[in-house]
Amino acid sequence: MASSTPFNIESTYLRLRPNASVETLRADAAFWQRLSSGQLGTFHNEYLVTSHRFHGDWPTWEMHPNGDEIVCLLSGAASFLLEFEERTQTIELKAAGSYVVVPKGVWHTAKGASAACMLFITAGEGTLHRPVC
């Protein structure tokens, strides 16, 4: 049954399932702990849709070994870094609606010149993190 009021992507995330159905997920303070502990499943062949606000550089690099990720700028600006074997590519996200497709298996991070809000569509199964050095 559809909700009688609209959802907000900052407080209700989405799981996009392989059968083209959508599940809403409460984005409370315990969400990331539930996700990392497996309480929300493995996200095998599924995508997680989230939104986050950032003020400055990300503290980590991340990589999604099982699928591409779409990162769309909603407001602000950010420099998005993709780490390939031979080089690091920087993509400047400056206009709302601009986005980057992060290929499967590519480490990435962001440097924020100002506050930014981004929408993420992530193949989250097996996501890895490492600190920015």
Q: List, for residues 71-115, the tens digit of each pLDDT value.
A: 999 999 999 999 999 999 999 999 999 999 999 999 999 998 678
**Helix (H/G/I), strand (E/B), else coil: 117:** strand
- SS3 percent helix, strand, coil of the chain, rounded to 5, is 5, 50, 45
How buried is 84 (Cβ within 10 angstroms: 0-12 exposed, 13-18 middle, 19+ buried)? exposed
Nearest-angstrom CA–CA distance, 41 and 83: 28
Length of the chain: 133
Domains assigned to the chain = 12-131 (2.60.120.10)
State which H helix or E strand residue 119 sits in.
strand 115-122
Task: Assign 3-class secondary structure to 49-73.
Answer: EEEEEEECCCCEEEECCCCCEEEEE
Name the residue with higher pLDDT: 133 or 14. Answer: 14
Q: What is the pLDDT of residue 92?
A: 95
Segment among 6-10, 61-65, 112-116 with least mean pLDDT = 112-116
Q: Would you place residue 5 in the very low, low, confident or very high pLDDT band (cuts 50, 70, 90)?
A: confident
- pTM over 0.85? The answer is yes
Q: List, for residues 40-61, the tens digit of each pLDDT value.
A: 998 999 999 999 999 999 999 9
